[in-house]
Structure 1
Amino acid sequence: MQEPPLLLLLYLLLQRRAGPQGDMAGRWDEAQRAAWLRQYYTQRQKRLMTLLIARRRRTSCYFYPRAWPSIRNADWWERVVMKEFRPQDWLEKFRMSKETFFYVCNQLRPGLAHHGAHFHSTLPLEKRVAVALWHLATNVEYQTISPLFGVGPATVQTCVREVSYAVVLLLKPLYLRLPNEKELENMVRIFRARWGFPHCIGALDSLHIPINPPLRLSADYCNGQGWHSILTQATVDGLGQFWDVSTAFPGSMENSAVLESSSLWVLAKEGRLCPNPPKHFMGKAQKYVLLGDATYPLQDWILKPYQEDEKLTQRQLQFNYRLKRAHSVIENAFLRLKARWQILLKCDDCSLELLPTLVLACCILHNVCEAHDNPFNEEWLEGTEPTELPKPCQPAPASMEDGRAEQVRELMCQYFETCGEG
């Protein structure tokens, strides 16, 4: 009659001993599960990073916070960018220093503050500017940028549009405007000191920006090389900073036709590109000049090289050399512009209506970076000149040539023969 109680006691004793082990095993399983989940989400984030890198358009145009793959996207801006980014990180990700970034944000605040109600409460003005700069710098799709900042693709598109408009509205009067008379004189000194070309206030050229064929007027945007583009005409000073930009012309237009349709042509004809009366050069009153290539007409305010197929004198060859060397300042400026803001390498996500604002915003931001002495990474230049998209080039028609301009070019030849150095 004692066996059942004894068996019961033994059973209860075994259960008591097994209890802590069972609890421990349960806790061990929970710890294992938590470790597995951490590993799973870390690997998931790494796979997302790999996918994003694989989808980038070019080898040098995409950046991701490699050192923090396990940080959730929603926290990346607050916990990583704002607290842990080093100076080089700001430069690589946003193409400008941290100080310049917050300067731009403060300048844009009056134009962007009233849009705050359109965004989620966790998307501050600085984050909106960061989203827009990331797109302009990398040229990746809205859908790719979206998970990086923890926002939707539509929000990325809105950030790009509204920040671009704000840049043009608020920064253009400061960084992209017609110089006054004193500033023009300073530009002449800089051009002469840096490039050895006298009486010059800038270099003139155009930039073809590839686009997808538009649904309407597709033939108008197909340039002479057979690819679709919009055309931007720009003028830079001796430091490579833009001071006149006319953009969004159809790619089929020639440089001479764009010039005649631009505000620069009107300013020159009104005499607003030089003092009144003009300053003296080589003993004669002479307008300040711009330097162009063979696609522009020879004017008393635009100089271009002598045709190479002609039998040129030594002084004419010297003039061509000097002009081409000085004209390279705008070629370098275009390269730096596209390297910083690689959206200009191919505008896919942007509508034709937004393109003029976007191009202007990139030119203005280029000037901001240059004026604030932000470093330029030469590695950004990789891939900025696709060999399959050569620049269209059509000489200016003879009907646009100004007969008096030949005297100006001859005057320059005399200067280089008697006074020029280098």
Structure 2
Amino acid sequence: MTPQQFEDVFVKIESDINKESTNYRESITARQRLAICLRFLATGDSYSTISFSYRVGKSTVSKIVKETCDAIWRRLQPIYMSEPTTDDWENIEKGFSERWNFPNCFGALDGKHVVITAPPASGSTYYNYKGTFSIVLLALVDDKYCFSVIDAGGYGSNSDGGLFKSSALGKKLQNDTLGLPNDKPLPDAPELGSMLYALVADEAFPLTTHTMRPVPVRGLNDEDRIYNYRLLYARRISENAFGILASRWRMYHWKIPLSPENLDSVVRATCVLHNMLQSQNQQSYSQAVNENEPTPNSILRNLSHRGCHATNDALVRNKYKTYFSSAAGAVAWQREYGFGRAN
């Protein structure tokens, strides 16, 4: 974060975090409060270390971080992570179609486990499949590595698919109240009929008419492999966004010793700050377009053998498979390395 970006945040939240001095004690300035909060987010240093650095009490640091993160979310969320409108979804779809070659896509969905110290008397509530304790940050990411919608605070023991189903995003998508644009045909393929807007996700999420996931790797044919390659080429946007988030806010590199309630505020603040920085550093995503290109073999290794019991929902996926293998929807790089050849 540059000095100018620090000032931009400070101006927006100063009135929320400013404290009045008394006859007995001079208050910690709003500017120093923001600096303390950003120091914790950017380094992951313990409250004890930060308290020594700034010569304030450990409990004071804890209170400052919570209050400042709440203020950051309250003031910046309407600007940098407002609820997407129909026009916003159309712009995101255009970006996914042009940059990532996946039309009618309104986002990449994924979950990130934020590792925490086991909360007292929590049992296995926060214990995840990786053998750590965590809360889950569920995020829908747009074509420019920004978070369109987030849901922070899910129990680490829950599956990503279960959290998505119970989230506000999942419920709106299921009830058709998300404000998505009207169905439209895939580019240059009117014969396939109108297609719903869909998001791309990994095998942790169920296959639905609005959620496209990979085909299980067992028994893949030519169309299946091309579809998987194209889907993961688009879906990696969510993984890259989490990588950028963690590289900017290094608190994600360590086990965070905060209560889940306080951590929710911290996670939301880092996400909206991430969006602010992405919007002001447009080259962050354009330079990354050709970096970390997924190879066919790496994609196959990352896919599981878990099947899917969807029936009607698979019809939408089958249309994508047909389209990606047709002259209208194919791109040159999808057959590199012999990936398009059947085994």
- Give the TM-score taking structure 2 as reference length: 0.83
- Please list the CA deviations of residues 325-369 of structure 1 after superposition, one character each: whole Å capped at 9, or x if unmatched: 111111111111111112223343321211111111111111111
Instruction: Note the C-alpha offset of 1:109.
Output: 2.3
Tell me what 1:316 maps to.
224
Counterpart residue type for residue 172 of structure 1: Q
Question: Is residue 208 of structure 2 the alignment partner of residue 299 of structure 1?
Answer: yes
CA separation of 1:150/1:183 partners in 2, compared to 1, >3 Å: closer, same or farther?
Answer: same
Q: 2 CA distance for matches of 1:220 and 1:397?
A: 27
Tell me what 1:348 maps to.
256
Question: Is residue 324 of structure 2 the alignment partner of residue 416 of structure 1?
Answer: yes
CA contact (8 A) 2:110 2:139 kept: yes
Residue 160 (structure 2) aligned to one of 232, 239, 255: 255
CA separation of 1:116/1:297 partners in 2, compared to 1, >3 Å: closer, same or farther?
Answer: farther
Larger mean CA deviation between 266-275 and 226-235 belongs to 266-275
Instruction: Note the C-alpha offset of 1:102.
Output: 0.6
Residue 68 (structure 2) aligned to one of 126, 138, 163: 163
Tell me what 2:81 maps to.
176
Instruction: Note the C-alpha offset of 1:261.
Output: 1.0
Question: Is residue 40 of structure 2 the alignment partner of residue 135 of structure 1?
Answer: yes
Question: Is residue 190 of structure 2 the alignment partner of residue 285 of structure 1?
Answer: no
CA contact (8 A) 1:296 1:396 kept: no
* Stretches of structure 1 lacking an aligned partner (at least 5 in a row): 1-95, 379-392
1:240 match: secondary structure:
coil
Q: 1 CA distance for matches of 2:258 and 2:132?
A: 17
Residue 152 (structure 1) aligned to one of 57, 60, 63: 57
Q: 2 CA distance for matches of 1:285 and 1:327?
A: 22
CA separation of 1:368/1:395 partners in 2, compared to 1, >3 Å: closer, same or farther?
Answer: farther
Question: Is residue 237 of structure 2 the alignment partner of residue 329 of structure 1?
Answer: yes
Instruction: Note the C-alpha offset of 1:124.
Output: 2.0
Q: 2 CA distance for matches of 1:417 and 1:374?
A: 32
2:56 match: secondary structure:
coil
Q: 2 CA distance for matches of 1:194 and 1:307?
A: 26
CA separation of 1:154/1:394 partners in 2, compared to 1, >3 Å: closer, same or farther?
Answer: farther
Residue 217 (structure 1) aligned to one of 122, 130, 135: 122
Percent identity for Structure 1 against Structure 2: 28
Give the number of the structure with larger relative contact order, counting CA–CA contacts within 8 Å between residues 6 or more apart. Answer: 2
Q: 2 CA distance for matches of 1:374 and 1:321?
A: 26
Q: 2 CA distance for matches of 1:280 and 1:227?
A: 44
Larger mean CA deviation between 276-285 and 122-131 belongs to 276-285
Larger Rg: 1
CA contact (8 A) 2:43 2:249 kept: yes
Counterpart residue type for residue 179 of structure 1: P
Q: 2 CA distance for matches of 1:241 and 1:159?
A: 27
Q: 2 CA distance for matches of 1:417 and 1:308?
A: 18
Question: Is residue 135 of structure 2 the alignment partner of residue 230 of structure 1?
Answer: yes
Tell me what 2:280 maps to.
372
1:243 match: secondary structure:
strand
Larger mean CA deviation between 324-333 and 348-357 belongs to 348-357
Q: 2 CA distance for matches of 1:262 and 1:165?
A: 21
Tell me what 1:361 maps to.
269
Counterpart residue type for residue 168 of structure 1: W
- Give the helix-richer structure, 1 or 2: 1
Instruction: Note the C-alpha offset of 1:150.
Output: 3.0
Counterpart residue type for residue 163 of structure 1: T
Give the total of aligned pairs. 308
CA contact (8 A) 2:107 2:200 kept: yes
CA separation of 1:291/1:184 partners in 2, compared to 1, >3 Å: closer, same or farther?
Answer: same
1:353 match: secondary structure:
helix
CA contact (8 A) 2:216 2:304 kept: no
Q: 2 CA distance for matches of 1:411 and 1:112?
A: 53
- Give the TM-score taking structure 1 as reference length: 0.68
Residue 407 (structure 1) aligned to one of 310, 315, 319: 315
Q: 1 CA distance for matches of 2:36 and 2:108?
A: 33
Instruction: Note the C-alpha offset of 1:196.
Output: 1.0
Tell me what 1:103 maps to.
8
* Stretches of structure 2 lacking an aligned partner (at least 5 in a row): 288-302, 334-343
CA contact (8 A) 1:295 1:396 kept: no
Cα root mean square deviation, aligned: 2.4
- Please list the CA deviations of residues 37-64 of structure 1 after superposition, one character each: whole Å capped at 9, or x if unmatched: xxxxxxxxxxxxxxxxxxxxxxxxxxxx
CA contact (8 A) 1:297 1:397 kept: no
- Please list the CA deviations of residues 99-140 of structure 1 after superposition, one character each: whole Å capped at 9, or x if unmatched: 111111111123223x44599636321211111000011111
2:12 match: secondary structure:
helix
CA separation of 1:164/1:117 partners in 2, compared to 1, >3 Å: closer, same or farther?
Answer: farther
CA contact (8 A) 2:17 2:33 kept: no
CA separation of 1:239/1:395 partners in 2, compared to 1, >3 Å: closer, same or farther?
Answer: farther
Counterpart residue type for residue 312 of structure 1: L
CA separation of 1:394/1:139 partners in 2, compared to 1, >3 Å: closer, same or farther?
Answer: farther
Q: 2 CA distance for matches of 1:230 and 1:331?
A: 17
CA separation of 1:275/1:122 partners in 2, compared to 1, >3 Å: closer, same or farther?
Answer: closer
